[in-house]
Amino acid sequence: MLKMINLPYPLNALEPYYSKETLDLHYNVLYKGYVDNTNKTEEQLTKARETNDLSNIKCLEKNLSFFGSGAILHELFFENMGPAIPTSPSVELMEQIIKDFGSFEKFKSQFTAAGAQVEASGWCLLVWVQKWNKLEILQCEKHQDLTLWGCKPLLVLDMWEHSYYLQYKTKRPEYINAFWNILNWNVVNKRFLENKDNKK
């Protein structure tokens, strides 16, 4: 059974860039819903196997992908934020960013534009593609569309309206600009190190 992660900071820790009200709703209501629904889907899958009734399998697999990906991406997102204490990419990650995007500013511009232009509800991610040995920026529609199989999410930004609308309304770029202040690069650095040399 999947359990909710604990937030690594209090609900008001990201103020003023990310309001307590938004985070409370996001973590305690929406994220909880993804975890609960993933568990419910797993129970339904267990029952389907036990009863050998697989007539609803297409819907269950779809729910597993939607709710499961929703739960995982929220965990990566909550974990890669933190109080507005400046952090920065490690020397190794910065070298890779410059190699793959030209400069840190070019990476930041591409990430901000990609996030602002996510179609409808989705995510913006910096990922490590082991097969290509390089960083890429991806948009993800809903929680599970447009992904690149086998990539490792390093930096995750929630572009669903519930993540910014209370505070930023339709001003997506303002939300993304605020996010840079509460991004915890220490977590991104750790994910990069863990994945970069893992060729498995």
**Residue found under tokens 């529609």:** 141
Which of 107/175 has CB closer to Fe ion?
175
Sheet containing 151-158: order of strands: 134-141, 122-129, 151-158
Which of 6/52 has CB closer to Fe ion?
6
Q: How far is the CB of 184 from Fe ion (least distance, A)?
A: 18
Q: How far is the CB of 123 from Fe ion (least distance, A)?
A: 8
Q: How far is the CB of 41 from Fe ion (least distance, A)?
A: 18
Cα 91 to Cα 96: distance, rounded to the nearest angstrom: 9
Cα 117 to Cα 172: distance, rounded to the nearest angstrom: 9
CB within 8 A of 87, min separation 6: which ones? 183, 184, 185, 186
Which of 155/158 has CB closer to Fe ion?
158
CB 40 within 8 A of CB 1: no
Q: Which residues bind Fe ion (CB under 5 A)?
A: 158, 160, 163
Residue number of the CB atom closest to Fe ion: 158
SS3 label, residue 151: strand
Cα 116 to Cα 166: distance, rounded to the nearest angstrom: 17
Which of 107/160 has CB closer to Fe ion?
160
Which of 111/160 has CB closer to Fe ion?
160
Q: How far is the CB of 160 from Fe ion (least distance, A)?
A: 5
SS3 label, residue 58: helix
Q: How far is the CB of 158 from Fe ion (least distance, A)?
A: 4
